[in-house]
Chains A and B, each alone.
Chain A
Amino acid sequence: MTLTTKTEDEPKFTWGTGADVLVQSILREGTEVIFGYPGGAVLPIYDALYRKKVRHVLARHEQGAIHAAEGYSRVSGKPGVVIATSGPGATNIVTGLMDACIDSLPIVVFTGQVARPVINTDAFQEADVIGITAPATKHNFQVRDLRDLSRIVKEAFYIATSGRPGPVLVDLPKDVSAEQIEWRSEKVEIHLPGYHVPGPANEKQIHRLAGAIERARRPVLLAGAGVLHAKACDRLRLFAQNHQLPVVNTLLGLGSFPTSHPLFLGMGGMHGTYAANMALSECDLLINIGSRFDDRLTCNLSKFATEAEIAHVDIDPAEIGKNVPTKYPVMGDAGVVLEQLERTTGSCKERQEWLRHLHTYAQQHPLHYENRPEDSTIPPQYVIERIRHYAGSDAIVTTDVGQHQMWTAQHYQFEHPYHWVSSGGLGTMGFGFPAAIGAQIAEPEKTVVAIVGDGGFQMTLEELAVVTELHLPIKIIILNNNALGMVRQWQEAFYEKRYAHSIPSFQPDFVRLAESYGVTGWRITERDQIDSVLESAVKNPDPVLIDCRVKQMENVFPMVAPGKGLKEMIGV
């Protein structure tokens, strides 16, 4: 029996299953696509999806499903919705949950569970999903009573998307989703007495920070992904321009401020630009908007921004003061706070000297790498520059984790928000390619480029089947150095070149692998092939995989070594 759609005015009583209630509730939240994988405990849910003809992307592994949902969410700003079965289906999504948790992505996951009477009997495909995922989610629920289901779904979406976004999991026993219920399609009220979303920031805090900005001689704005979540990029640009504030991005904040803007100093942190890191080190006021002072950004905390007063704007009060003592705490949404600050901040001190000083750093120590045309090997950074040339600033770029990720962050020159998708906090290898699937589904008309390494790609390459099945014209570019490059770089630098298990003796033929999945595969081994292959790939309306052989021993520079401060960069 199926549920009829509700009419807005008069509540209608209809018979359906718990799964019908679930699907109806998911659709009510505006869900356009679900990423998932069926299994025993979610059979009633898949039956309901079948009846409702909901758009569902069949991943080939649950981890692929959740990374695709993350990519979808990062690009669209909408919650990514995932369904997985009980037991292994649920445990396979844990990496994605943790990834979304640390990178603040709104994901709502529905897992099947064994039937209520057999929970806690070690039943087939049973796992304590609530226990396992509690520290990897913003919140999780187990539905024990079907009458609670539509409220729980509404609460799950609300928690996932409000405040600091994050993943929420709803665990649904099979007998609940199979149970028949007379269901009334009426307005559902949420009841979350322990959950509060901050409103506008305290005016006193705003006034104190505005005063500090007016007085500062050497201020710097550090913009993180919180600016993107708040959809506050225009406000950030205006605020920086109006008050002549130089801007540094975190890895995940890239795109929130145009790279070509004269106030932009680049990414800060372990592989950031010299100018960005010197700005963070020499500033007298550091205004962090929507970043969580991650250790890859701060490096040695005792040497971080030692000359600065710290201001931290964050929607999550637990982030303020967590890593760095904060003189000007401001709790609130980045967009609302920027608007409040814009209204409150008066004329500022003259900063031309400070800006000139930073500009000199940028001029004298730009990002660089060795690129000699006579060399037979291809520098990976050069390939990224050529991808940028052909795909342009309007392409959406996803990456995996490792050297290629850092080179892309350094050299792609992001101009627009929501065009950069990467795994920051958790550093999840295997993220980039499935994330590109979600990104392409969110933006079907845009060029989507997945820049991956040969290591990470092999972790989730089974999703090539999805690319062919849905005909997603993603351009997968493997920067293939036949090494786990970042591991190898650290072994070279800190373990006296003992390359323990970082240079595999075998790798597949990626071109034939792609072709076996029905994806066009090309290989670049010579420098003079780069332009023609990349140009053809970008113009090609079909999915393309490019196995680009690059210099194996190339390192990511500049770099701040572990334990060092931002001022102590090597390879500048």
Chain B
Amino acid sequence: MKRTIIAIVSSNPSVLGRIATLMSRWNLDIDCLTMQKLGTKEGTSDISMLINVEEAHQTEQLVKQIDKLVDVISVADMT
């Protein structure tokens, strides 16, 4: 099933790599990914990912793992 995950992160060069490492560990393909600096708050960016998971439970665990990253300010499954 397709899920859309949206995260607000601290803008720094390693944050995307950290999230990508998690995706790799979970063996998840990213169908679509965008990242952009937020105009509203300096030092923060928005990452939006479309992923394909087998069951909803997976996304719940993945969101928790992404949320554990210190550079991630907030994250949610916005599907």
Contact = CB atoms under 8 A, between A and B. Distances in A.
B17 A159 contact: no
Interface string A399-433: 00000000000000000000000000000000000
Contacts of A316: 68
Interface in B31-79: 44, 60-61, 64-65, 67-74
Nearest to A323: B61
A1 interface: no
B27 interface: no
A194 B7 CA distance: 11
A134 B60 contact: no
A317 interface: yes
B70 A135 contact: no
Interface residues of B, number: 20
B43 to A, nearest CB: 8
A134 B14 contact: yes
Contacts of B67: 317-318
A564 B18 CA distance: 36
B25 A135 contact: yes
A159 B60 contact: no
B64 A134 contact: no
A142 B13 CA distance: 11
B70 A318 contact: no
Contact of A138 (B70, B72, B73, B74): B70
Given A131-B17, A134-B17, A194 B73 contact: yes
B61 A321 contact: yes
Interface of B: 9-10, 14, 17-18, 21, 25, 44, 60-61, 64-65, 67-74
28 contacts: A130-B14, A134-B18, A134-B21, A135-B25, A138-B70, A139-B69, A139-B70, A139-B71, A142-B14, A193-B10, A193-B44, A193-B73, A194-B9, A194-B70, A194-B71, A194-B72, A194-B73, A195-B70, A316-B68, A317-B67, A318-B64, A318-B65, A318-B67, A318-B68, A321-B60, A321-B61, A322-B61, A322-B64
* Top 10 closest pairs, chain A to chain B, by CB: A318-B64, A139-B70, A194-B73, A195-B70, A194-B72, A193-B73, A318-B68, A194-B70, A194-B71, A318-B65
